[in-house]
Amino acid sequence: MLSAHFNHLQERIYHLMITLSKWLKAQSKKRLLIWLGVVVVSLALLQVVVANLRLRVSLHQRQQDKQAAREAADVAYQALLEQQTQEQAERAQLRQQAPLERPQLVGIQNLYVFFVRPPDTSDAQIMPLIKQLQQFSSTRYDSLFAMHTFFAEQARNYRAKPFTLVLHLAPTIEELAVNRVGDVMEFWDRDVYAVQKLQDQFATILAKHKIVLGEGKSALFIYFDDSFLGDETADSFYDQKAFRSFSDEGQRQAYVNAYDFSVAFASTLVEIAAHETLHLFGAKDKYLENEYGCEATGRGNPDQQPTFPQKTGDIMCGLIEQREGEFHRAEFQQGELVINRHTAAEIGWIPLSE
């Protein structure tokens, strides 16, 4: 059966070839060329159509892949956000349950200081300023060690419990690329995710140095980032900064932004570091949220009679109220910043009144 079928097929192919060769012989050379041309053009057209079809299919596929990736990222972000919001809430609850664990500036307090820079800043750019900050004996308030001097000076005004702030300055400079979006803006408790993510990034430095924060152990990160967002619509200088100083008492971690790399900036940097460090021990901000000025609790001497002119300002505000409602910047190096009785009470030096 199969053999018969095969023979039949062979016969048909043979007949087809005979017919084709007869037809070819019958054609003139010119017509043959035309036919050849038609065949070539048809093949080329076919190729174009197939390629186009393939392109469409792959474009569609790519779009679908992109969409899927975007959706997956959204889902992951939402999950992370939920997880971190929950963790934050749990921590807040823990803090409320154990109010006695609120760290205060009493006893021995270790502060681990890290110098951190983004990848696009070189060690050489920030080294002179770091050298100044590391100087053990310095003139007034332009070394990180001056923080302790300042705190000790201020403590003398109260019958403060004894304390020692032990600074551990990291010998090396760390590199950390802090992602701009989310990490650095809106972190004043408004964007839990941003704070959390920022902390996760800095936590890698603590892990590398095998430092576990806890009772008597806090960290201060000095982040050398002088970039500005250049946002013309921003209200203030601070709104334009890419990275802003802040402190998380619960996590025992403070972040200070060195936005100027000049050596002359050292004393301002130490002032900011002292302010953020005091947050770690319970001190609250005393500046006004939406305008240039301090709350009444931010006056250098809240009990002065008559109240004005004030000659100093509390470091948790940083301004002097010369006349009621009129403020100007207090100079750290001129001794115009103090720790007033409100801040002293918050950090555990004297009993909380009222």
Task: State the residues that interact with Zn ion by CB under 5 A.
Answer: 285
CA 257 to chain centre: 11
To Zn ion, the closest distance from the beta carbon of 290 in angstroms equals: 15
To Zn ion, the closest distance from the beta carbon of 95 in angstroms equals: 18
To Zn ion, the closest distance from the beta carbon of 120 in angstroms equals: 27
In terms of CB distance, is 126 or 344 closer to Zn ion?
A: 344
Indicate the SS3 state at residue 69: helix
Radius of gyration of the chain (CA): 36
Cα angle: 214, vertex 216, 218; to 5 degrees: 65
In terms of CB distance, is 104 or 307 closer to Zn ion?
A: 104
| Closest residue by beta carbon to Zn ion | 285
To Zn ion, the closest distance from the beta carbon of 197 in angstroms equals: 21
To Zn ion, the closest distance from the beta carbon of 254 in angstroms equals: 9
To Zn ion, the closest distance from the beta carbon of 184 in angstroms equals: 16
Buried b or exposed e, range 118-155, using 16+ CB within 10 angstroms: beebeeeebeebbebbbeeebeebbbbbbbbebbeebb
In terms of CB distance, is 143 or 343 closer to Zn ion?
A: 343
In terms of CB distance, is 278 or 320 closer to Zn ion?
A: 278
- Residue spans of alpha helices (H) in the chain: 2-26, 29-97, 123-134, 146-155, 192-208, 237-240, 266-280, 341-346
285 torsion bin: left (phi>0), alpha (psi -120 to 50), beta (else): beta
Rounded CA-CA distance 60/49 in Å is: 17
Rounded CA-CA distance 233/229 in Å is: 11
> Which residue, among 128, 146, 127, 124, has the nearest Cα to 137 in the 3D structure?
146
In terms of CB distance, is 191 or 285 closer to Zn ion?
A: 285
In terms of CB distance, is 132 or 340 closer to Zn ion?
A: 340
In terms of CB distance, is 135 or 297 closer to Zn ion?
A: 297
Decide if 122 contacts 253 (C-beta within 8 A).
Answer: no
To Zn ion, the closest distance from the beta carbon of 217 in angstroms equals: 21
Rounded CA-CA distance 153/99 in Å is: 28
Cis geometry, peptide bond prior to residue 119 (ω within 30 degrees of 0): no
